[in-house]
Amino acid sequence: MMRSRFAMLAILTLAVCWLGPEAAFSQSCGCGPDFCQGDPRYAPRLAQAKAAMRNTGYPDELVALMDKDGACFARVDRAPTNFHIRDYASGTFQDVEWDEDNERISRAKLLNGTISVYYKYNTPRAFKCCGEKVYNERPDYDSTHDVNRSIVIECKKSGTTVTCQ
């Protein structure tokens, strides 16, 4: 019994030395290392993705959405590198890529009543990291608009202006 524990400790130590701390970490999550929360690769990959988005010219309010979804490497690695706008009106929605002109158009549609709401997002549905619920089983899921509200910016008409939160 003592020998087998010693052997496992020796193997784990060698793995950390040869493969890096990620090898030891991957042993602690049953979903596979890319889906584990707390993976040491997550923060650097998130910072890299956000820097690339800022360099592309996306505003900070959109880049900040990257901090709101699942905290696992797979989510950041598989996330789109751009943002979108979802216009919603009378039971239907249309998605367009975010840019300043498309946001101006959505804002005008909202103010003139053509649409009832619009959302800005990187992805409208939450990513499932290990230990999390599927997007449509979460309390923030809006099936009418097909979005997880906690990971999008919702824009509504407020008097004669548009408020985005």
Tens place of pLDDT per residue across the chain (165 aa): 434 433 333 333 333 333 344 444 444 688 988 999 999 999 999 999 999 999 999 999 999 999 999 999 999 999 999 999 999 998 899 999 999 999 999 999 999 999 999 999 999 999 999 999 999 999 999 999 999 999 999 999 999 999 999
The answer to whether residues 25 and 51 belong to one domain is no
Q: Are residues 47 and 125 in the same domain?
A: yes
Report how far residue 122's alpha carbon sits from residue 81's, in angstroms, rounded to the nearest whole number. Answer: 8
- On whether both 44 and 122 belong to a single domain, the answer is yes
Q: Name the residue with tokens 């009418």.
A: 144
87 and 126 share one domain: yes
**Do 157 and 79 share a structural domain?**
yes
Parent domain of 36 = 31-164
Domain count, the chain: 2
State whether 5 and 64 are in the same domain. Answer: no
Q: Are residues 24 and 43 in the same domain?
A: no
Distance, in Å, from the CA atom of 73 to the CA atom of 43, rounded to the nearest integer, reads 8
